[in-house]
Amino acid sequence: MVSTVGLVLHPERDSKEAIDTIVEWARNRGCPVLGLPDEVGRIDCSAVAVDDQTLVRQADLLVSLGGDGTMLRTMRLIAGRPTPVLGVNLGRLGFLAEIDVADLAPALSAIDEHRYTVEPRMAVRATTHDGRTVTAFNDIALVRIPGDGLAAVAVSVYGEPFVRYAADAVIVSTATGSTAYSFSAGGPIVSPTVEGFIVVPAAAHTAFNRALVLSADEEVTLDVLPTSGQLAMEVDGAIGGHLCPGDRLTVTALRAAARVVRLGTTTFYERARRKLRVNGSAEVD
């Protein structure tokens, strides 16, 4: 049974209709609705503004209103906790959001009555040379800065050197992120139920340009080589810092770091076919 609903909102999209639906549903059941101050504060609603720690601690269901980017932010916020996350799509079709606004009230009732499943999503956590850690549910990428040289990166698994890439970027992707930056770089589409991660170069300037698929039990090290330019470290598409030649990034997997609500309305493969416009070869028709 849902006792407290937490909201995470897209910074720009209109979420008033969705919030009103959630607040009305919760009012009829005596449930408080919580949200972050800078998000619910800009909308005329009765959701209670709390800090992110209180939101994470008190909510037993988080509702993400937006798209895949908002879902990723919600998952990072809740990383490591068992709280389920329901994604509500406010824009283009995504991979993570489960429902549209019109389906919100019955979806909340289904969750309240335990008529749903959760899809565990793995994250990757990177530790920088100075001990700082970042967590991503799509990918962590070392990306060249225009005008500052290629990304020259040595990849080692458990300290065993494997390959050196010279590329526009070197991406460490989860199965969730396999349909994002990794896909655009030629990486494989991976089922979200696979516990593993992918290392793939984007626009490699080396003879070996293949992706490396690793087990969730393995540790990968990315060393920025002396011939590299300064690199931006992107965490789920946002700048998380910069690395220079000689710096090192160590990446490990976090199993079941978030739990995404599934109501059985669509499958990953249906969403992938529609979003990526997957079609067969004309020669088989």
The catalytic site residues sit at: 68
For the chain, the C-alpha Rg in angstroms (whole number) is: 20
In contact, 43 and 90? CB cutoff 8 Å? no
In contact, 18 and 97? CB cutoff 8 Å? no
Task: Give the total residue count for the chain.
Answer: 285
Angle between helices 16-27 and 104-112 (to 10 degrees): 40
Q: What is the rounded CA–CA span in Å between residue 248 and residue 136?
A: 17
Q: Which residues pair with 49 in a beta bridge?
A: 35
Output the known binding site for NAD(+): 68-69, 73, 138-139, 168, 179-184, 203
Over the range 207-231, which residues count as b (16 or more CB within 10 Å of their CB) and which as e? eebebbbbebeeebbbbbeeebbeb
Residue 74 CB burial class (10 angstroms; 0-12, 13-18, ≥19): buried
Q: What is the rounded CA–CA span in Å between residue 75 and residue 123?
A: 9
Of 106, 108, 86, the residue nearest 98 (C-alpha): 86
Structure tokens at 167: 């590329």
